[in-house]
Amino acid sequence: MADIWAQDVFEDNTLKKYRFRYEVDPALIEIRSNSLVSRWEDWEESLARGSILAYCGSATDDISSDVRKIIQAKMKTCAEFGAAIRWSIQCRGQDEMWAVLQCLPRPANFLRKNDRFSTDFCGAMELLAIKLTIPVKHNAPCRGPIPVLFSRDEDKTREELTDHPGSLHAGEKH
């Protein structure tokens, strides 16, 4: 969960009084294949889904629908108005992995159209960083995080790979 002030995200002073609360089940974060980042998601759509809630200052009344209407009106007058968020998995230091919530002040479709903004190493604002607890191998030559199986149904995936090992293939080298 993260509290985020609109003035830190949007390039519009009329929104600066608003505070957003972002909350998501980590199991629902989908990192793209052969990547360390998720897809860019629109701020406005996250408001609609309820993964982002809006408040006026430190108040506790949910005003998400009102703020969403303000953002939608601004998006109609300027195609580049909006904000998008994504998750990034990052190595920090020698033994630490972090899940980082990133943001850029443009709509997701604008960012997705430009390959510079879809790379793992695209610069972005950090809104939240969560240290991950992972097993790490400390000795060379394969120093670093021990690979884990990412699957929505780990038991079924493990069984399928055991029964059909030919389904396994090497990842892409960068």
Contact 54, 18 (CB under 8 A): yes
pLDDT of the chain along its 174 residues, tens only?
889 999 999 988 899 999 999 988 877 888 887 788 999 999 999 999 999 999 999 999 999 999 999 999 999 999 899 999 999 998 887 778 899 999 999 999 999 998 899 888 889 999 999 988 887 777 766 667 766 666 667 788 888 888 887 777 665 555
Instruction: Please give the Cα distance from 137 to 96 (Å, whole number).
Output: 11
Among 132, 108, 142, CA closest to 122: 108
Place of tokens 């993260």: 2
CA dist 17 and 7 (Å) reads: 8
Cα(124)–Cα(112) distance, integer angstroms = 14
pTM of this prediction?
Answer: 0.79
